[in-house]
């Protein structure tokens, strides 16, 4: 997988209608020049369940409304392909869970699903229960009737998402069947969704424990044996991200988005600079995803509050308020306890609106992302500099839907004509093509000016950003040819 290649993150249906439509889109300009890979968000059966595909009834089947495995292979044939592997849970409507609810211990799936008593066979104290780390209010249990008996089933996220015992033979076989399916479809990388919560250990936080790391190591080996790289998806304390990065192929840099927003909002690049000093280089960089903009990743350790974060509490509070104000308070409608949103550690907002729909600030943010070491990914709404979809939010009542717009072909065509989108696609093409990005990285910060430099032999790429003024300039060379621009919006880079 190329470090130069910018990848697109998208739902198949919300951008291109279905999988064949996505394959066609990725072969056409300007998409084919801008993006060398794609992360297709869950396309399994069903793709539109309780959590937008992250609660699969059958994780090895493509939702027929979107296409087939052959259609997935067609997308993979044009570049790198990332696919989600949801390791922590399955849908309450899955055949295995329904069978266990009906037959209990007589079910072949008995033991596959976690309950309070299976983790705490001798009972749990108040201290045991309050020690469990969960990014949502309340305890992670939902009552279900199993063979006529009420049981407290472990549900980390929603009552529809049933946690599995990843150490159970049947659960292991299930997870390995998913790897077989996605590897056969031509995927090059799998994203381990919610893996930080996958192992429950009595008396511990049950989040990113030693047992979790052991599971990640084992599952990564299983994936690699099938030719798959592994990306770990965990929102957590920044030092834990560094620890994860040392153990896996790739880890998300979830600290980058709030640090860039802080830098562009205040002119203070110090926290971003300190992160550049210590962050894992084997990262996938993002500014936006299908979830909200995380702030937990720059805060104090949620399991040991005495460990400070990359931003102080008052800086995080100010950052969140700036995002709300920049979006005209539309993000406030979708965040916190609003709109059935349970992810209290995220602000639901498009990244473009989080910067007040300021084209120069947005392009400066993307340039900072693209010059930061790692594989850059751009969410489909962000690729089109999308605004908060308040109408969809009001219809669904789901906070994260504010950043999950369903595009029509006419909307896409209109957005591709906007100067900020044309400039972003040009920036993507530059990041994907220049050989300098395979070289050595350095940076400096002086008087509110952040400079990032890549150099490989005679080739180079230099970014200069005035953090408070939101102006970004580029200079580069490639095989003897040179280029430069002092205004990404008015004069997009051409390579």
- Crossing angle for the helix pair 210-224 and 169-184, nearest 10 degrees? 40
- Tell how many helices (H) and how many strands (E) occur in the chain: 19, 21
pLDDT reported for residue 296: 87
Q: Whose structure tokens read 């990359």? A: 310
User: SS3 of 229, please?
Assistant: strand
In this structure, which topology does domain 7-88+168-437 adopt according to CATH?
TIM Barrel (3.20.20)
pLDDT reported for residue 338: 54
CATH number of 95-163: 3.90.400.10
pLDDT reported for residue 420: 98
Closest CA relative to residue 347, chosen from 315, 309, 317: 317
Q: Which residues are catalytic?
A: 193, 233
pLDDT reported for residue 342: 41
3-state helix, strand, coil in the chain (%, to 5): 40, 20, 40
pLDDT reported for residue 492: 95
Q: Which residues pair with 180 in a beta bridge?
A: none
Side-chain-side CA neighbours of 463 within 13 Å: the count stands at: 28
Where do the structural domains in the chain lie, given as residue ranges? Answer: 7-88+168-437, 95-163, 438-485
Farthest CA pair distance, the chain: 75
pLDDT reported for residue 134: 86
427 near 363, Cβ under 8 Å?
Answer: yes
Closest CA relative to residue 41, chosen from 464, 436, 403: 403
Rounded to 5 degrees, φ, ψ at 446 are -150, 125
> What tokens does 494 get?
């051409």
Q: Cα 113–114–115 angle (5° rounding)?
A: 125
pLDDT reported for residue 341: 42
Backbone CA torsion sign across 358, 363, 369, 375: positive
- Could you say which residues of the chain have pLDDT below 50? 1, 339-343
pLDDT reported for residue 337: 57
User: SS3 of 300, please?
Assistant: coil
pLDDT reported for residue 135: 74
200 near 164, Cβ under 8 Å?
Answer: no
- Where would I find the H helices in 268-389? 270-278, 313-326, 351-354, 359-371, 380-383
> What tokens does 74 get?
């067609």
Measured from the Cβ of residue 145, the count of other Cβ atoms closer than 10 Å reads: 11
Instruction: Report the distance separating Cα 257 and Cα 16, nearest Å.
Output: 26
Superfamily of segment(s) 438-485: alpha-Amylases (2.20.220.10)
Instruction: Report the distance separating Cα 379 and Cα 257, nearest Å.
Output: 13
Closest CA relative to residue 235, chosen from 274, 288, 200, 195: 195
DSSP assignment of 113-180 equals: B-BHHHH-TT---HHHHHHS--SSSS-SEEEEEETTEEEEEE-SS-TTEEEB-TTSHHHHHHHHHHHH
Q: Cα 220–224–225 angle (5° rounding)?
A: 120
User: SS3 of 420, please?
Assistant: helix
* 95-163 shares its CATH topology with 438-485: no
- Crossing angle for the helix pair 270-278 and 238-245, nearest 10 degrees? 30
- Where would I find the H helices in 27-120? 31-34, 69-76, 95-103, 116-119
| pTM of the predicted structure, to 2 decimals | 0.94
Rounded to 5 degrees, φ, ψ at 488 are -65, -30
Residue 420 region by backbone torsions, left for phi larger than 0, else alpha for psi between -120 and 50, else beta? alpha
DSSP assignment of 236-298 equals: --HHHHHHHHTTSSEEEETTHHHHHHHHHHHS--HHHHHHHHHS-SSEEE-S--SS-EE-GGG
Instruction: Report the distance separating Cα 393 and Cα 387, nearest Å.
Output: 12
């Amino acid at each position: 997988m190329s470090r130069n290649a910018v990848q697109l993150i998208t739902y198949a249906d919300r951008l291109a209608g279905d999988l064949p439509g996505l394959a066609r889109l990725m072969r056409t300009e300007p998409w084919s020049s801008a993006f060398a890979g794609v992360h297709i968000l869950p396309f399994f059966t069903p793709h539109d369940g309780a959590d937008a595909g992250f609660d699969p009834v059958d994780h090895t089947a493509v939702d027929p409304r979107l296409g087939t495995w052959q259609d997935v292979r067609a997308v993979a044939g044009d570049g790198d392909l990332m696919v989600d592997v949801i390791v922590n849970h399955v849908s309450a409507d899955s055949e295995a869970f329904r069978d266990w609810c009906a037959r209990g211990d007589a079910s072949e799936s008995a033991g596959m699903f976690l309950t309070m008593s299976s983790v705490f066979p001798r009972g749990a104290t108040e201290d045991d229960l309050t020690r469990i780390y969960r990014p949502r209010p309340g305890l992670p249990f939902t009552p279900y009737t199993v063979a006529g008996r009420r049981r407290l089933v472990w549900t980390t996220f929603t009552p529809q998402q049933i946690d599995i015992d990843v150490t159970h033979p049947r659960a292991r076989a299930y997870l390995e069947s998913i790897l077989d399916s996605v590897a056969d479809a031509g995927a090059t990388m799998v994203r381990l969704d919610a893996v930080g919560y996958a192992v429950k250990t009595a008396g511990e936080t049950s989040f990113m424990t030693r047992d979790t790391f052991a599971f990640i190591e084992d599952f990564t080996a299983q994936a690699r044996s099938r030719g798959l790289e592994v990306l770990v998806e965990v929102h957590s304390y920044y030092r834990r991200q560094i620890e994860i990065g040392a153990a896996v192929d790739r880890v998300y840099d979830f600290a980058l988005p709030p640090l860039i927003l802080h830098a562009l909002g205040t002119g203070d690049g110090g926290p971003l600079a300190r992160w550049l000093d210590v962050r894992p280089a084997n990262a996938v960089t993002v500014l936006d995803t299908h979830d909200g903009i995380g702030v937990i990743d720059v805060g104090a350790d949620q399991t040991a509050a005495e460990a400070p974060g990359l931003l102080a509490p008052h800086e995080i509070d100010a950052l969140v308020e700036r995002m709300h104000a920049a979006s005209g308070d539309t993000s406030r409608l979708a965040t916190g306890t609003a709109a059935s949103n349970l992810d209290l550690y995220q602000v639901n907002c498009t990244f473009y609106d989080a910067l007040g729909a300021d084209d120069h600030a947005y392009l400066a943010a993307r340039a900072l992302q693209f010059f930061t070491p790692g594989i850059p990914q751009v969410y489909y709404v962000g690729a089109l500099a999308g605004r908060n979809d308040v109408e969809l939010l009001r219809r669904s009542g789901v906070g994260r839907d504010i950043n999950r717009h369903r595009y029509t072909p006419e909307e896409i065509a209109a957005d591709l004509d906007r100067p900020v989108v044309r400039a972003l696609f040009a920036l993507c093409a530059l990041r994907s093509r220049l050989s300098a990005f395979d070289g050595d990285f350095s940076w400096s910060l002086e008087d509110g000016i952040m400079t990032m430099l890549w150099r490989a032999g005679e080739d180079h790429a230099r970014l200069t950003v005035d953090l408070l003024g939101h102006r970004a300039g580029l200079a580069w060379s490639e095989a003897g040819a040179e280029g430069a621009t002092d205004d990404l919006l008015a004069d997009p880079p051409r390579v």
